[in-house]
Structure 1
Amino acid sequence: METSTFFFQGHPQLEVDNDIRPRGEVKYMTGLAPERSEMVRGRWPYTGPDDGNLDSERPLEVAIDVLGSQLLALDVGDRMEAVPAASFRDPPPIEVEIVGVFQRDDRDDEYWYGTEKAFSFHDDQWTIIPLFTSETAILREIYERYPTLYTDVTWFYYLDREAIGAGQVDDLLDTLSLVKYDVRSNLNNSSAGIRLDRVLLEYKEQLLLARIPLFLILFLITGILAYFLALITGLVVKSRAVEISILKSRGATTSQVGLLAAVEGLMLSVPAVIIGPLLALGVVKVLGEVFFGLGGSEDLATVPVVLTGNAYLVGLAGGLIGAVVLTGTTLLAARQGIVEFRQTGARPARTPFIHRYYLDLLLLGLIGLLWWQIQSRGAFLVRPLGSRGLEIDYSLLVGPVLLLLAVGLVVMRVFPIGVGVMARISEPVAPAWLVQGLRHVSRDPVVPGSLVVLLMFAMALGVIGSAFSSTLERSQRDRALYEAGAALRFEHAGRSRPVDLQGLSKAVVDEGVADWAVEVQRTNSHLTTTGFSTRGTLLAVEAEDFANVAWYRPDFAAGRPLEELTSLLAPVVPERPDGILLPAEARSLTVSVQPSRPNANLSLRARLKDASGYHFDVHIGDLGFLGWKRLEGDLVPLLSRSRRSQDRDGVITIEPPYTLLSLQITGRRGVPDPGAMFFGELGVNGPNGAEIVDGFHSLDDWQIIEDYSRPGLYGLEASESVVLASSGSSARYSWAPGSIGLRGIRPGQPERPLPALVSRPFLEVTDADVGDIRTVGLSTFSLQVEIKAVVDYFPTLDPAERPFAVVDLASFINRSNLHSPRPTGGSNELWVNPGTSGGDGDAVAESLADNGALSRKAYVASDMVLNSVDQPLVNAGWGALLVLMFLALVVASALGVMLFSFIDTKERQTEFALLRTLGSSRLQLNGTVWFSLFLVAVCGVSLGTLAGYLIGISLLPLMEVAEQGAKVTPRMVLETNWVTLSVSYIILGVVTLGTVFWLIWFTARMEIHQVLRIGEA
């Protein structure tokens, strides 16, 4: 609770003008004493021996903070008077006694949030010292004396962050909205300042974007593990086919065999359902501590990990699925008795059902159609009807799973054909063990092909997962660097002299705070097209050094380096410089003119440039006369009000010699009417007398200043009817109303368009191509640009927001001063590369201030990258998620490889024994044993790497979603984390080598005579 402001008086240091008089409110704040403050001297108001009794005859007891005591130069026991500063006429003062001086314990405590000016402070304008007292004293003592005194009551509510869960965000947002409505409806003259709702909305938005890759990976993992489960179950059932056929031959029914498998599956599932969630809890805790701690988010390592009932439900569902798959596969195998089993073993393997009837091709067609629909949607996010927010369309997340399935179908179709072709090709030339291995795989390719698909799925997901992790992190970093544009970027104001460069970049480099710096001017523009115009952005840069400063990726312009692009912006040097160089001793400019009719509203001016490149206008004379007249104007800059303020006293120093750039016709109230002007002689006056510079005998070196937004309104021609007697010639310049920019003529060659880099939307809007010339309009004039190259992106410019063009700054300033009604120049941004100089933002800002430019906003790329990358919802959990993913899939793949090798070797014992009896050496036999394993591993890993890369490339456009559903700028670049991916390569390699050594041991122990005697028993 606080009152309106009181003035303080009663001491010499307080008797000053009201403008600078110390002042303050009388306040009461709950929780201030004694919990969060310490009494330095004295006591708290109304806590003395009188037990807080109020007495109107006694002074009002108050406490002030330490700074307030210093500002007032008063201490405990001192008294002063307080008078309301407003709302009263000659109010009586109230006597105040300072009974205590305190200080806050911890100023960084959350309790003080929003109360920065609730305590004493002093600035250039005010000296504020609040007086703290009790609530009763304010209500009784203050308001008995000043009943109409304004009072402000503020309630601060502090959030218990520990008690709020992620699932309560929507409820909390609804509550905050209701609070705002209730405050506005039920409390008069009230307001509510709530920022929590914006934080929660931002959280929801970031969480939504973070869920896309998370759910995508989970969908892929689920699909692959389901395939693994079916494959492993099929291998297990295949290895037990003899047992099942024997049970059938001894009287067991199919249902009994199925019941046996169901009981076995349930017995295996129950321990897994119980132990699995507990094991997951421990793994998540360990990975959370390791990866969050090492990842720079130590605070997240302490986030509690809890086990909910949903985890057991998911585990129960997984156990039931495993039991059902085992039972179903067993029932399929139980259809055969011992006779059918023997017949099947004696015949070649049958072609799979989906291959016999080409169902895989039908599925590929359907998957292709669904994938085309998903890509046409452009993202995994949708905006439901009647909702303002975005939501994830989970049906679209099935698309990548289907895409992976399509790759598997292609491999299952092509793998047998490829192995068969390899067997036929290698038969005449390859060693026996290789031919035997290829023949075996080509005769029964279903199981090896299925294992190849499993390994391919695992490696593909490994590539996708590692790429997503590094790609998302790089995208966050690139977005921050793209927005910054350079290591340091400053938006500045306060200095805009009409010169090519302000000298800011040179000053920063010369002072040693940066290795490179460039000036940049960013301005709004519009693209002039037939019938309408489109808003755009024009960026003028120091093209020569821009590549040394700006952050850039080659894919912004189809692989072209930035140095090559900026070199295209270099202006073409004309054969003769534009303008007329006046004698160095010239003091005034003379022009003989005759207006078509007198007009006191019009005047003649000249635009010149001095030796340092400073552009300025000179007033030559008014045009309210008839006939020929020789006008003369001193070569003194004509300054506008804003220019006069920048150049202090309105007087600037210009350096001869001067170059005449143009002669222009201006009007105090515009030029609303058409007209014409005859030019006779152009000359200068100086210490050596008058000198004729040009007599307008030839107009080859004179051009009109064209208005490119409305061409054809001006004309320039030689006149034979109206001539100056002394020269015998003249030039007639005519104009029509309705144009912008300058009206006048200029000496020089025909104007060339500015070389420019443009965005693709620029081409689409203007219906242009590289090499074409288009018009870009600015606020008071238009320029022509020649499209030299097309860029998809350029630092700090969003092509989706506005079309843009990039030009050279010096060329742009020079060309602007040919068309702008006022001399123009300068820059509004400074891009800096500190390099080895190590200059920071403060040093550059200080350099700007020393050179007359005020930094309005600074972009520090390193800070922006840190803030962008260090976001838990964006990056947290990816390391642990990848580890879990690799552990699950690599273990699954390793189990598949080991089980396949075991079953394959057991089934082929007789074959191996026969090969030994036929003369095969042990080395040849080992080659035959290992070949299937190596073929599966090599094909699975190589195809998986290729498939993962291709799928990642195809998914990347769907992942390029930023806040509010907008496209990410710049686009994402797929970046594979080969360190993470190499872990999966190493694990699979170790498993393969381990299996090889096990096979060596197994075949070494194989007794040929025993195998041949036992056979398949």
Structure 2
Amino acid sequence: MPWSLKYALRRLFAKWQSLATMIVGVLLAAIVGSNAPLYTSAIAQVGWQQALPDQNPADLQMYIRTGIAPIDVEDFGAAWSELDSVVTVEAESTFAPFGDWFGGWISWAEMADHAIIAGVSRPRPPEIRLAYYDDLRDYIEVTEGEWVSDEGNTVSALISEANAEFLGISVGDVLTLKQQGWDTSQVFDVHIVGIITPKDTDSPYWFAPNPLGSSSAPILLTTANNLVAATQFTPTPTIQIGWRSLFWHGRLPYTSLPELKHVLDNFEPTLRRTLESVDLPFGPPVFTTGISPIIEGYIADVDLLNIPFGLLLLQLGVLVIFFLFIITALAWRAARREVALLQSRGAQNQQVLRLHALETFIICAIAALVAPFITRTVLAVLIPLLTGIESIPLDVTPTVFGYSVGTSIIAWVVLLLTLLPVLQLPLIAAGGSATRSRTRMWWQRYYLDWVLLIIGLVALVQLTQSQSLTTSGTTQSDPLLLIAPALLFVAFSSVLLRFFPFLVRLISGYAQRRRGAVGVLASWQVSREPLQYGQITFLLALAIGIGWFAISYQATLTNNQQEQAMYRTGGDVRIEVAPTADVITLEQTLRENEVIESVSQITRVLLRNVSINRSAGRGGREAGELLAVDSTALQSAQTWNSASDWFPPPLADDSEYGKPLPDNTAAVGVWLRIDTQQWINFGQFTVENYPQPYILSELGTVLLKLRNADGNLVDIEMTPDRAALDTFVEELEASQEEESQDFQPPTNPDDFEPRVFDYPNEGWLYFEAALPDISSWRIAGLTFLLRDQFPGGISETLISGWQAIDAEGQSTPLDIYAGWDLGNETSVVPPGIFISEEAPPIDDAPIIAFQWPTPDNSSFISFFLWANYPEIGTIEVGSPTTVIEEDDIIGIPVTIGRSFAELNDLSIGQRFRLSLGSFALWLEVHSIVDLFPTLYPETPYIIIDRDSLLYQFERIGYREGLQEEFWLILNDPAQAEEVVSSLPSDAIANVTTIESVRSQFDTDITSLGVIGLLYLSFLIGVTLSLISLITYLNLSAQARLSQFRVLLAMGMPSTQLTLMLILEQMLVLITALILGALIGQFMVSQVLPPLAVSAAGGSAVPPFRVQTDLVLLAQYLLVIVAGIVLVLVLQAIWLRGLSLGSNQRYEEE
């Protein structure tokens, strides 16, 4: 062994205690290096496991199927076994190297669909299949009966509990089956011996297609031998044979995903080539899997983490390297006497450097080998604590060792660089008392901190203004700008530390003017060693600043994620109602639920074009939203808007609109008639109109619209009294049959005459509607829905004989003929509604009527009459040829989004026309806002009072494209699932809860990783600061023993010596706290908002509001103070152990 290596090893064994801090520094550097790939893998692994539940289970597995017809082989069982063996061996040899991830390879076979000839009582039962699945017994429980057996000549089988209930099958039943369509198929019996249910429905074993089948496609499960035996009854149909994977993706390390994707991509072609050599008549195999695209997409997402994680880890690495500079400088400073001794014995500097290079190389080599395993152990413990995931697999790959070796080499270079100044010291300086510490660090002497500050400020300006240095038009921050906080942390700390020597001198001067020697000695010591104390202060300030920033970052991000979830739901729960649901019943159910504090009813309308006609905005079509909200929804919306009058005034109380009904009204009746032109001959019609009651009785629907005291509208279908009309039609048909025997058509077409009938009641039909059991109803309107079988020309509708009917059947005439408005999507003949002079069906009953032209190419005609509805806003129906005067336009006040205002160049007070297809609403801009729940700034939107919008829609009978929603505020948000489960599933189209939105943020690996790195930087920074402080105090105390001896000999108590050390460290701690707080708060206020936007994926709506968790911050500061107190306690114990007699000895003694 060379003498230099022997000397290095002996020195390490002899002085490992004095080198402990240096060893710790090197080890930390290697840990930071190995942490780079391992931490990224750990965060990626967490994200992978959190993303798996959101995937379709079938996409995460592999499904293969082929088929063999038993008639094509001599022995179906042997052929199946041979084919299964080839595929299973290939699969196991391919996937087994991935360890626990490969949970098995499930072989299966299914016969074709068989008709159930006998054995079930259910009428027209679905066809059923007999199937076999490997390892079924391990994944099911037999709830009734017993496990299927191969013994005997009968075919026995199991059936799932759900299918048994659906088909009405129980244990002991015998099903008679036959495969239809083949002459070779025979009838055979299957004995049901057991009913089964899955043990764990979440197991990948049950991915679709489910081995248990479904109610529409049930499956009988049996053994392989039973299945082979059953094939003798159906030899011709192909038996499907296949394999299902059992992959446990949560058990696979993220680092193995690229290799797995490569293996999966090659598995199919490899297996196809293998099967080509199998001499069996099987069909081409079909492969179904979605694993590779999922893995590829996730790897691409993780690759985006490399830049932000790399920069933050670089920041952490620089912190550790700086710590290493401090520690090694102190260690070499303590070894100056040893170096001087070697130099005095004739050793050259190169020889001394070579000896210590070998010594430090051994330290770095050991650290490079050990650090990856330490890092993996620490992450395996910390990640579950932070994420709640029980365990994550982490592999120590060659890449991890590469990073560890790289940082160890850097640490080795640092150790040698810090030794060079010691070698250049004169021998007289070996004692250390003849030299003074410098006041500035080497980069401060070259003003590099000012350069870094300028670069960091430039990056900060770009970050806060444009939010990106390389992109435009988005809110996504460039990951490269993460270097801005790193630069500013270091630069600000260094620049402010330039004032540290001057501050200490001022404190020392102040102490000299005060009584007592403790303050003078403490401040003098700090002012005498400003560089050493400044470096420790620098480290501690960085740790405090990073901790401050990390706590605020997490609090801000967490608060904003909660606000985003509330913004997206509009409350605790957002329910989108199915189009076919009964909205009124659903609302009543919600309001009766005691768990719900408030219910907001919302109507959403998709605007296919928000470029209004009178707009000066850009051309083209752009989609947007019209959101109609009630007053309850505005209470939660106030959170996002600071102005108190931003929302337009609601519609005045509309409960008095309509025609009031007498008390105790049980039904409402009315006489109706439709007159049309009469057909004469092909293309010929009468000029006059004649009654056509069959239009109302056969082709139409009449709805009575009622309004209750709460303003809710209800449509009730009116029933016609057809008795007299049916009798007339029967007599008419009988007479027409007799006349048709002698009927001779005229030879001249002009001699044809219209077929005009003398209908009973002169063509009037009586309609009646029973009222719901609620008092205070008002007639709001009358709706006609007619199928178009009208001739051309003008048709007429007549209304008369309104009457209210009580529970005893007594009718009371209603004088409600005035004040009706006609609103429909087709034009009517002026003057609209008028008083008709026709004979009324009831004496002295007025008649109101209106005429309309039959529309071309329309299969449906609708008319809507509204009672006493005042005009609150101008509506244009169809394509009016007349121009409305500006003074005659009434606009409904609305609130619009800023993007809508900018698109159409609108300002407050301006009126505009919003087209909604066949009609248009006139609106007026009341206010312009940036935020409203469920609406996003990039989407042009309009917010309107819901009552006002529905009022306008009611006037014209518009009911298409309306999406109803309910925003719920719960007494306890945790009861959201309970509320949703209590509602009928067919009434709900979609449900969004705060918890469901928050769960999406939980899978954000970027924010999770950044927060983790910031906390890791804080903890490592505090640890490094305390180690530096302990090291310096230890070395300083050793060097100051002579001072302590003199002071003790002069009568100074050891308590005052302890107080002196406390004052020295208090100067460091207070300076670091002030400096770290200033830096941390500056970074929080300037850097945090755009950086948090980047972590949120550029979709932070509402914007970030900077938050600081003061309680958590106080806890972290207490940790720092407790660490320093612990150091001082240890130092005080050491000082108290000194006695006057021991202080008289020389150090060598």
- TM-based fold match above 0.5: yes
Asked if residue 765 in structure 1 is aligned to residue 903 in structure 2, the reply is: yes
Asked whether 1:936 is paired with 2:1080, we answer no
Residue among 423, 429, 437 paired with 1:334: 423
- Report the counterpart of residue 255 of structure 1 in structure 2: 350
1:226, CA displacement in angstroms?
1.1
State the one-letter code of the partner of 2:244.
F
Equivalent-residue separation in structure 2 for 1:327 and 1:310 (angstroms): 26
Structure 1 residue 453 displacement after superposition: 1.3
Matched, 1:754 2:893: yes
Aligned equivalents of 1:579, 1:982: Cα separation in 2 = 61
| Partner SS, residue 571 of structure 1 | coil
| Secondary structure at 2:596 match in 1 | coil
Q: Secondary structure at the match of 1:24?
A: coil
Contact 1:65 1:119 in 2 (8 A): yes
Q: Encode CA deviations 1:841-880: one digit per residue, 9 max, x unaligned.
A: 565565568xxx8122223434554x44665957989998
Deviations 1:204-248 (A, max 9, x none): 466557777755543332221111111222233344456656765
Please give the alpha-carbon distance, in whole angstroms, between the structure 2 residues aligned to 1:715 and 1:130. Answer: 75
Letter in 2 for 1:65: I
1:715: how far off? 3.1
Matches within 5 A, 1:255-274: 255-266=350-361, 268-269=363-364, 272-273=367-368
CA contact (8 A) 2:650 2:947 kept: no
Q: Does 1:822 align with 2:958?
A: yes
Between the aligned partners of 1:839 and 1:1014, the Cα distance in structure 2 is 76
Q: Shift of residue 97 of structure 1?
A: 2.2
**1:461 aligned partner:** 546
Please say if 1:94 is aligned against 2:186.
yes
Correspondence for 2:782 among 631, 637, 655 = 637
After superposition, the Cα gap between the structure-2 partners of 1:9 and 1:615, relative to the gap in structure 1 and judged at 3 Å, is closer
Question: For the residues of structure 1 that align with 2:139 and 2:704, how far apart are their CA atoms?
Answer: 68
In the alignment, what sits opposite 2:457? Answer: 368
Q: Is the 8 A contact 2:648 2:927 kept in 1?
A: no
Q: Give me the whole-angstrom Cα distance separating, in 2, the residues matched to 1:137 and 1:786.
A: 79
2 CA distance for matches of 1:117 and 1:99? Answer: 22
* 2:321 matched residue in structure 1: 226
Q: Deviations over 1:902-951 (max 9, x none)?
A: 45566667888999999999998776654432121112133223423443
Partner of 1:234, secondary structure, is: helix
Q: SS of 1:515's equivalent? A: strand
Partner residue of 2:124? 21
Partner residue, 2:855? none
Letter in 2 for 1:509: R
Query: How far 1:456 moved relative to its partner?
Result: 1.2
The one-letter amino acid paired with 1:142 is T
Give a deviation string over 1:458-498, Cα, whole Å, max 9, x none.
1223234444555555555555444443322211135689x
Q: Note closer, same or farther for the CA distance 1:346–1:844 as it changes in structure 2 (3 Å cut).
A: closer
Question: SS where residue 967 of structure 2 aligns?
Answer: strand
Counterparts of 2:376 and 2:1037 in 1: how far apart (Å)?
38
Distance apart, 1:828 and its partner CA: 0.9
1:236 alignment counterpart: 331
Residues 875, 922 of structure 2: 8 Å contact kept: no
Q: Are 1:832 and 2:921 matched, yes or no? A: no
1:284-322 C-alpha deviation (Å, 9 max, x unpaired): 555467x26xx6433x2xx45655555555554444433
- Partner amino acid, structure 1, of 2:1028: G
Residue 48 of structure 1, aligned match among 140, 152, 155: 152
Residues 855-864 or 680-689, more deviating: 680-689
* Alignment gaps of 5+ in structure 2: 1-108, 277-281, 663-668, 673-686, 690-701, 717-763, 768-778, 788-801, 806-813, 849-869
Query: Which one-letter code corresponds to 2:190 in the other structure?
Result: I
What is the deviation of 1:652? 14
**Cα separation, 2, equivalents of 1:683 and 1:569:** 45
SS in 2 for 1:108: coil
Q: Which residue of structure 2 lines up, in the alignment, with residue 858 of structure 1?
A: 991
In the TM superposition, what is the alpha-carbon distance from 1:765 to its structure 2 partner?
Answer: 3.0
CA–CA distance in 1 between the matches of 2:406 and 2:503? 39
Matched-pair contact (CA < 8 Å) for 1:9–1:80: yes
Structure 1 residue 901 displacement after superposition? 3.6
Aligned to 2:594: 512
Superposition TM-score, scaled by structure 1 size = 0.69
**Matched residues in 1 for 2:448 and 2:561: separation?**
43
Distance in 1 between residues matched to 2:558 and 2:382, nearest whole Å: 19
Does 1:65 find its partner at 2:168? Answer: no
When residues 154 and 825 of structure 1 are mapped into structure 2, their CA distance, relative to the original with a 3 A threshold, is closer
Question: Secondary structure, in 3 states, of the residue corresponding to 1:637?
Answer: strand
Q: Any idea what the Cα deviations from partners look like across 1:667-714, whole Å, max 9, x if unmatched?
A: 37xx9xxxx95689899999997799xxxxxxxx98983559999953
Specify the alignment match of 1:82 in structure 2. Answer: 178
Letter in 2 for 1:828: E
Identify which range, 240-249 or 531-540, moves more after superposition. 240-249
Q: 2: distance between equivalents of 1:237 and 1:487? A: 63
2:647 to 556, 562, 569: 569
Tell me, yes or no, if the aligned pair for 1:611 and 1:658 is still in contact at 8 Å.
Answer: no
Contact 1:905-1:929 at 8 Å conserved across structures: no
Structure 1 partner of 2:115: 7
Residues 366 and 118 of structure 1, relative CA distance in 2, 3 Å threshold: closer
Select which of 803, 812, 824 maps to 2:940.
Answer: 803
The whole-number CA distance in structure 2 between the counterparts of 1:97 and 1:814 is: 66
User: 2: CA distance between counterparts of 1:119 and 1:1013?
Assistant: 88
Aligned partner of 1:386 in structure 2 is none
Paired residue secondary structure (2:314)? helix
Which letter maps to 1:540?
Answer: A
Which residue of structure 1 aligns with residue 28 of structure 2? none
Match runs of 1:190-339 below 5 Å: 192-197=287-292, 199-200=294-295, 203-204=298-299, 207=302, 215=310, 217-241=312-336, 244=339, 248=343, 251-266=346-361, 268-269=363-364, 272-273=367-368, 276-277=371-372, 279-280=374-375, 282-284=377-379, 286-287=381-382, 291=385, 296-298=388-390, 300=391, 303=392, 307=396, 313-338=402-427
- Provide the residue aligned with 1:667 in structure 2: 826
CA contact (8 A) 1:42 1:76 kept: no
Counterparts in 2 of 1:265 and 1:346: CA distance versus 1, 3 Å: closer
Distance 1:749 1:493, change over 3 A: farther
Task: Give the match for residue 625 of structure 1.
Answer: none
TM-superposed CA distance for 1:510, in Å, is 2.9
Structure 2 counterpart of 1:623:
none
CA contact (8 A) 1:703 1:749 kept: no
Distance 2:1131 2:252 in 1: 57
896, 912, 929: which is aligned to 1:790?
A: 929
How far is 1:395 from its partner? 5.9
- Give the partner amino acid of 2:944: V
Instruction: Tell me the alpha carbon deviations over residues 408-454 of structure 1, each in whole angstroms, 9 at most, x when there is no partner.
Output: 33223344455566677898789886577667656763333222211
Identity between Structure 1 and Structure 2 (%): 19
Query: Which stretch has the larger CA shift, 195-204 or 997-1006?
Result: 997-1006
> Are 1:582 and 1:658, in contact at CA under 8 Å, matched by a contact in 2?
no
Q: CA RMSD in A?
A: 6.0
In the alignment, which residue of structure 1 is the partner of 2:665? none
Aligned to 1:714: 883
Measure how far apart 1:43 and its partner are: 9.5
The amino acid of 2:353's aligned partner reads G
Q: Indicate if the aligned counterparts of 1:513 and 1:840 stay in contact, CA closer than 8 A.
A: no
**CA contact 1:183–1:190 (8 Å) conserved in 2:** no
SS in 1 for 2:234: helix
Residue pair 1:26, 1:131 contacting (<8 A) in 2 also: no
Task: Output the amino acid matched with 1:705.
Answer: T
Q: Assess if the C-alpha contact under 8 Å between 2:703 and 2:715 holds in 1.
A: yes
Alpha-carbon separation, structure 1, partners of 2:561 and 2:441: 47
Give the CA deviation at 1:46: 7.7
Question: 1:364 & 1:838 partners in 2: Cα distance?
Answer: 48
Q: Which amino acid aligns with 2:454?
A: G
Alignment of 1:812 onto 2:949: yes
Q: What is the correspondence of 1:920-999 to structure 2 with a 5 Å cutoff?
A: 929-952=1061-1084, 954-961=1087-1094, 967-971=1099-1103, 975-976=1107-1108, 981-997=1113-1129
1:527 is matched with 610
Give the Å deviation of 1:958.
3.5
- Alignment length (residue pairs): 880
Q: What secondary structure does 1:486 align onto?
A: coil
Residue 896 (structure 1) shift: 1.4
Q: Take 2:170 and 2:995, find their aligned partners in 1: how far apart are those partners?
A: 47
